Structure 1
Amino acid sequence: MSTCSTHALDAALGVPAAGLPVTLRDSAEVTLAEAVTDADGRVRFPADLGSGPHSLTFATGPWFAAAGRDTFFPEVRLTFTVPADQQHHHVALLLSPFAYTTYKGS
């Protein structure tokens, strides 16, 4: 089994994306865990992931709206593959109202 964590940063303001809801799902769209990023923009999910595709969905629309900011993306969904031989996956999100980028962290 493997674990997953994420780190979301508000690249437009240069701060962590604190309070951002995130959902972890498996390839069958079963919700494995739901969380909200902490003050540092981080979440470590308690779920054990099997190998194969998984996704993280960030509820960016409501998050930006709560801050009185417009956004082009109502959500950001990142799909990634979990190999059977890796114990931890870290998926980072750099976010702004009209763009985002992601990378596999360590």
Structure 2
Amino acid sequence: MSVSTHVLDSVVGRPAAGIAVRLFAGEELIAESVTDHDGRSRLTEDATALGVHRLVFATGQWFAEQGRDAFYPEVVLTFSVAEPGEHHHVPLLLSPFAYSTYRGS
């Protein structure tokens, strides 16, 4: 299973570059990354197990580095992998006091 993400700052309408992201399978850390200039990160190309996975975004640190207050110190997106051979793209639409996500392609 490959896992990627794309983070957009919905307040300024731009990619959120420089956010630290961690991928977990259960409690095991699988990969760590930082979003690139386009707000994207490909966390792994390696096969992982069936089951629950989490993406953890260090949003509080990122907002603080920009001198912006934020309500969420981190955003945790939990998703279930039923088909390990498929690509899983999990975007994050971010603002200081709200966020949303969806299963991308």
Same fold (TM over 0.5): yes
Displacement, 1:88?
A: 0.7
Q: Which has the higher strand share?
A: 1
Partner of 2:30: 32
Displacement, 1:45?
A: 1.4
- The share of aligned pairs that are identical, in percent, is 57
Asked if structure 2 preserves the Cα contact closer than 8 Å seen for 1:50 and 1:84, the reply is: no
Partners of 1:87 and 1:73 in 2: how far apart? 30
Matches within 5 A, 1:19-98: 19-27=18-26, 29-46=27-44, 47-84=46-83, 86-98=85-97
Amino acid at match of 1:89: H
Displacement, 1:48?
A: 2.6
CA distances 1:23-56 after superposition (whole Å, capped 9, x unpaired): 00011x1110000000000011124321110000
Structure 2 unaligned blocks of 5 or more: none
Q: CA RMSD in A?
A: 1.0
CA distances 1:75-106 after superposition (whole Å, capped 9, x unpaired): 00000001135421000000000000000000
Partner of 2:103: 104
- Using structure 1 for the length normalisation, give the TM-score: 0.94
